[in-house]
Amino acid sequence: MLKQDVYKQINDFAPYNTAEKWDCSGWIVDNSKKSVEKVMLCLTVTDDIVEQAEKSGCDLILSHHPLFFVPLKYKDINILCAHTNLDKAIGGTTDTLIEKLGLSEYQEAIPSIFETEADEFVRYVNLEKTLNINDFIKLLHFISPNLRYVNNNGVKTIKKIAFCAGSGSEFINDAYLKSADAYVTGDMKFHTALESPIVVFDIGHFESEILILDVFKKLLPKIYFEVADEKSPFIYHG
């Protein structure tokens, strides 16, 4: 397969022209090697991931997170990234998170017109009936056993839940204004937690997005791939 065919498969699913202007989605390294026989799938490109790809005989690395600085030692392997375009895409990172939690049937339709930036990234699930907050925590534990949460108002039950995989705490107020009882994301900061008007579950950046590798697999059915051995950089002591 040509590497441009891999690009096209991703672009057809999550058009690169929808990526944020500041984002580096697309070719991180585009060298002279045109054909691809094996792809390394990963969330984040690191020295270790590049070494894994080289040892596995991969011709290309497909990642979710971009690189804003590319070390010279990476120049020998093609690296393609799908970041904010994949976050926005139907069936992308946040939709995959909702699907893994078994909540897709309750997901609200994605609006055809986006009124705010949050509308592009945040998804909403509206349950048929209220759910005890402790039961929802048990559900989230299947994705992230080390989640933390904020409940400034002592909420006991929730029904409408907003989701944004990765780092989405900037959209908490948007979720609140759309009547969400709770919000699931990652990378929540201390002062953001203090000021949150709704329940916020921080399941971790890595944990909320690593699921997208299953989507990469489906998009590349005609090529061999290797899934990188990677984990969250955080060490949790229980």
Segments of the chain scoring below 50 in pLDDT:
none
Please tell me the predicted confidence (pLDDT) of residue 198.
Answer: 98
pTM (two decimals): 0.96
**Would you list the DSSP string of 167-195?**
E-GGGHHHHHHTT-SEEEEE---HHHHHH
Ramachandran region of residue 119, left (φ > 0), alpha (ψ -120 to 50) or beta?
alpha
The whole-angstrom separation of Cα 113 and Cα 75 is: 40
| CA distances for 103 relative to 22, 172, 200, angstroms | 32, 20, 18
Please tell me the predicted confidence (pLDDT) of residue 238.
Answer: 64
Please tell me the predicted confidence (pLDDT) of residue 38.
Answer: 96
Pairing of strands 123-132, 157-167: antiparallel
Domains of the chain (ranges; CATH) run 3-87 (3.40.1390.30), 90-205 (3.40.1390.30)
- Residue 29 pairs in a beta bridge with 79
Furthest CA-CA distance within the chain: 58
**What token pair was written down for 10?**
């991703």
Q: What is the pLDDT of residues 157-174, one digit of tens each?
A: 999 999 999 999 999 999
Note whether 172 and 192 are within 8 A (CB): yes
Cα angle: 112, vertex 114, 120; to 5 degrees: 100
Note whether 80 and 26 are within 8 A (CB): yes
Q: What is the pLDDT of residues 172-184, one digit of tens each?
A: 999 999 999 999 9
Nearest CA to 81 out of 36, 52, 45 is that of 45
The whole-angstrom separation of Cα 74 and Cα 92 is: 27
